[in-house]
Amino acid sequence: MKNRDDECFGDGMDDGLDTDFDFEGNLALFDKAAVFSEIDTTERRSGARSRGTPQDQTPTRYRHDENILEGKPVVYRQIVVPQPGPKEYCTDSGLVVPSISYELHKRLLSAAERYGLTLERRLEMTGVCASQMTLTLLGGPNRFTPKNLHQRPTVALLCGPHVQGAQGISCGRHLANHEVEVILFLPNFVKLLDSVTSELTLFIKTGGKQVSSIKDLPDTPVDLIINCLDCHENTFLMDQPWYRAAAEWANQNRAPVLSLDPPVSGQGHAVEAKWSLSLCLPLPLAEGAGRVYLCDIGIPRQVFQEVGIKYHSPFGCKFVIPLHSA
């Protein structure tokens, strides 16, 4: 039986174990360059890359918020206007937002009003967006806490007797409802616009302070000044004594200024602003307008199309977004 086992399992095995394997000799027989050249040739013909082969490019690294799946290329110019203004802006995500002329701006608002977006509704939307931006500039949740009610921020609101002034009063009402001490300056006029009168009636019910003389404004710096003195059409207001006095007070107070719906460049800015908030689409603003922000006042896309604007909302999940000079 032992002989049979040796014949089956041991024949020639012991002799081979006594000889060392020549690793270097066998490695020299392997032509690495020729093998990889053959692999590359095969890949070029098939258009595929084999697994495990070295790649010339470093693999792309993705952030946690990036999608690794390939999608459609991003179109950054999603808003096209019939007559582009002299300035273009872009959002944080790179979307291009062109400026429009004041004439096109008026046509857009007029078309929206025909479909039910009345002046009153625009005033409310503008007031909400402007107040949200203002609350953020004043400190947001870090300042508006129940333990910090003894340090209420003070905002001086400078308004003229026009629609821009009514927008500012609407903003002041929302700020006063959020525990901001609002001081409203509005000059005395025998006849005011109905929109200004109605907004003023609501503002008074908040307990906010209204003054008609510059002497009644604070002597010390306030937390923020909201400038609504300027009008898109009546530039003669800049020559009025109350306007010049209010502008001089704002420039001397040393508080940062937010301009609400400022006019186009060329009309001049008596008050230098740190921020400006434009509505729906920006006007070409002057350098004195500061950093430009844009707010959504709820105009539907088809209304934009009616006045010749190809529109896709740049706002994303927000109602107020910052713009940068393109």
Q: What is the DSSP string of 187-236?
A: ---SS--HHHHHHHHHHHTTT-EEESSGGGS-SS--SEEEEE---SS-GG
In whole angstroms, give the CA distance from residue 152 to residue 84.
43
Least confident of 31-35, 80-84, 304-308: 31-35
28: confidence class by pLDDT, cuts 50, 70, 90: confident
Coil, strand, or helix at residue 77? coil
With tokens 């929109």, the residue in question is 195
Q: Of 72 and 293, which is predicted with more confidence?
A: 293
The alpha carbon of 206 is separated from its chain's Cα centroid by a whole number of angstroms, namely: 30
Examine the pLDDT at 242 and tell me if it is beyond 70: yes
Place of tokens 């993705």: 62
- What is the pLDDT at residue 189? 85
Contact residues for 292 (Cβ-Cβ < 8 A; gap 6+): 89, 275, 276, 278, 282, 285, 322, 323
Packing angle, helices 119-137 and 163-177, rounded to 10: 50
Give 259-289 pLDDT, tens digit per residue: 999 988 666 678 899 999 999 999 998 888 8
What whole-number distance in Å separates Cα of residue 187 and Cα of residue 176?
Answer: 20
- If you average pLDDT over every residue of the chain, what do you get? 87
Between CA 188 and CA 242 the distance in angstroms is 9
pLDDT > 60? residue 244: yes
Question: In what side-by-side order are the strands of the sheet with 181-185?
Answer: 209-211, 181-185, 154-159, 224-228, 257-260, 275-279, 291-295, 320-322
